[in-house]
A and B are shown apart, each in its own frame.
Chain A
Amino acid sequence: MALDLYRTAAQIDAAVAIADFGSARERRMEAVLAALRDGDAATLNARVEEAQGLLAFLPAEAVEPPGSVFDAPAVPDDFSVVATDGSHIDVNRHLPLRCALVNIGGCRLTYGAGADAELFSRPRLRTSDAELFLRDPDTPSARQAVEGALMGLVRTVEEAMALAEAVEADDSGLPTLALLDGTLVLWELGGELPPRGRYPDYVREQLLDDGLLSALERIRDVSARRQVAVGSYISLPNSTEVVNLLRLGLCDLDPVGHCQTHCRALVPGTRRCDAAHGLTDRELFERTLAPGQRSAVFASRSPVARDAYGAHRVHFFYVNVEEEIGRVEVPAWVALDPASLSLAHALVVDNARRGAGYPVALQEAHEQAVVTGADREAFRNMVERALEERGLPVYTSQKQRTKRRPWV
């Protein structure tokens, strides 16, 4: 018995009992909802600007009146939804061969008269130094190993590249929604201004400028010829950027938002903005969005998104896809073009409805991309066999062996 589920379940029950689900939370929620209802985009944005750099939290930038809601626009008769997703097997130090596998899966679903579907997946083994390390072109000795978190970023970039490719390859001329899973904000790469990201500039250039943004640009190019909206979908988002923006609406101190100055000595719970404490954007919009409706559009103030994305600056809105509140991130050129925004809104809702709460296209892309435990095992065996065939030593660590063949 690995995990004692009975004991775990008992502890979960206890935790739920203690958690703040009571009337106090409800009162706080009411306060935040009021702030949302009454909030004025310009005022809120101004307060943020005023407090720039001094906020202990990251607020969104209001683009439309924050409390506004929009019904889902009509879905075109014929359209397609393209999505990609990725999965990878990271470099495993227990394996004798240094290598990683990235599998990008995707689909193009065509709806309407020419209903059709195309599913694809492209596995790619990374074994060469060029694939396993990002190098500084100016300082050849400087390099970053593509593994762990960086591998995750690399994968996201590849997903976007694959998405761009799929959009480009589609010559149907149909209105298209191109979807990625997760966020468009590669926050780990950091912005121009402090706080700086954890990676050197050449990494950001390669992954962002030559990577994600280049992919988005390619899609934007296609959008010049036909209607294409690109975005990413985040299920069960835990972000609090809108709630954080509303904190500034709640703050009654002067100057607003100078948290360090005003509130450093205050016990949490006694500040006005504490009404927003522990609430997420999702919980907020659960109260305001009817099925199919989206929230106002906001722009991300994440340093990287703000400083490095340019025309692709990440905007987002929340949408009620019936089963849940999802977050849709789109580049600025989509967010600010009403037709593209409508398309994104309409098709996300439609596709999520077809997928019982989660966009079908992403589900299928995920299915194409997913690397299962069995696949991982098979991959490892393939590598070992290839080595053996070449007479190369195959050794695995004792730990690895133990994992594979547990002692009784």
Chain B
Amino acid sequence: MTSDGLPTLLGTVVGGSLTDGVEVRLAEGASVEDIPVGSYVVIQGETRRFFGMVSEVRLAATDSRLRSAPAGFEDPFVSQALTGTAAYGSIVVRPRLVLPSVAGAEGDIAPARTVPGHFSRAARASEADVAQVFGAEGGDNFAVGTPLDMDAVVCLDLKTLLQRSNGVFGKSGTGKSFLTRLLLIGVLQSRLSALLIFDMHNEYGWEGGDVERGRRVKSLKQLFPSEVSVFALDEQRARGASVQPDFHVEIGYGEITPDDIMALRETLGISDAAAEAAFALGRRFGDGRWLREFLRLEGSDEIGELAARINVNGAALATLHRRLTNRVTRLPFVTDAPGADAVSAIMDHLDRGKHVVLEFGRYGDDVIAYMLVANLLTRRIHDRYRERQSADAGEGRSTTPLTIVIEEAHRFLSPAVASQSPFGIIAREMRKNNVTLLVVDQRPSAIDAEVLSQVGTKVCCLLDDERDVDAVMAGASGSRELRSVLAGLRSRQQALFFGEAVPIPVAVQVRDYGTDTSYDALMRRRPRREAAARGPAVARSNGAASEDEDDDPLFG
């Protein structure tokens, strides 16, 4: 019996194929009602143990008359006798992995390339089986939660995860940020990658929201003060916060390139011609000066004159001018003379082993602000990494990889802009330059299919729109059962993990986050020795946070 009191034995294999999965006729006592699609099943073949997922649940009858003339069968005695015999349940299990033939034995776990034989016995996967599949917590294995119907721990292989760009999807309100924060903690602790987080909604810095429970939860800076640097865009908001940001970001006119304008084309609502005009301006005035020069113009006459001079459409140029003035340069952090170079600061922090959270403050709701900043910074940081990568390659050094976390990713990765967007480039070049993405998005269907196909591991919360589901599932094996699983997720704290960092797709009850116990659990993961070594430094550098962290084992 499993912990939920249900029988372990489900039934026996009676047919099937590798492609469609094997059919398991349910044994007496095993009810279809207890076997949701997506459940894990272990099938003991003659020489191998197969680990698979329920992809279909059916009701069958040995005699078609049962279907056509059901009168009388509803009698409890009759129906009880018929259930599991003449009328039986069957499930389709798609074998995905081959486990060592003896349960619990050490051995390799390999993808299944065949199916168990007839009459092999299928059982619910035990916690031990699941643990064996997902590995034990610790090292590069980061526990994200438990499978929906059991207590085993599901671990992500962070090393594999970080080889590629990844995605967290789900309609709004399904806890993407929550989940992302958890993943980031895992990555952060693993030290396998540096993080640059474009924190649109101020979730990842000091604290975040728990909408469901109506409370604030600790975020990265609070948990790992010495390892996280918060960069703020919104000076006004930052000024009121209890914890001061490590850096105020300002964007100089000189830093905004025509490419950045091109990336904002749709958001700004300007024509191609207008966007192209920026390039003409760039050629005319130089990349570092074009905006300042352009915005210095006043009145339609001057603009018309310029348009004629650089041979662009006058109306388009006027629109560009109007939009830049109204929508871009009015942003307080966009200034002609920035206090410091944000890109260099970020690089500096990253180089110092810090993870950077860029809080947008109020500007998170301003799409233009968000996109402008994210694009601009990413492009330039990516450039830096690219330069460094070629240098390192020459010198035989390796650079710490960088993971850039971007919310509302579809805005940067839509088919129209993905080819030019730095994010599109990063996604497509994989890890060539040591930079990968963690895209967080509620509308994956709006993301360029090619970009999505490069996403190594997908973490998917509930999605309503069929197109979004199609987009996420594209290319996944066994997408039919994955869809069922996805559709069956609750809207909070449950997610489907599939892709490279998990051996098989898994629907996860995401581990608790936001309580003291949950913080403890997360922090315990970290090797003690290291924590002890680093802890005091953190405390010194950020004493203001200490009283909130009394119960933190780090400081306890």
Direct contact of A and B (CB under 8 A): no
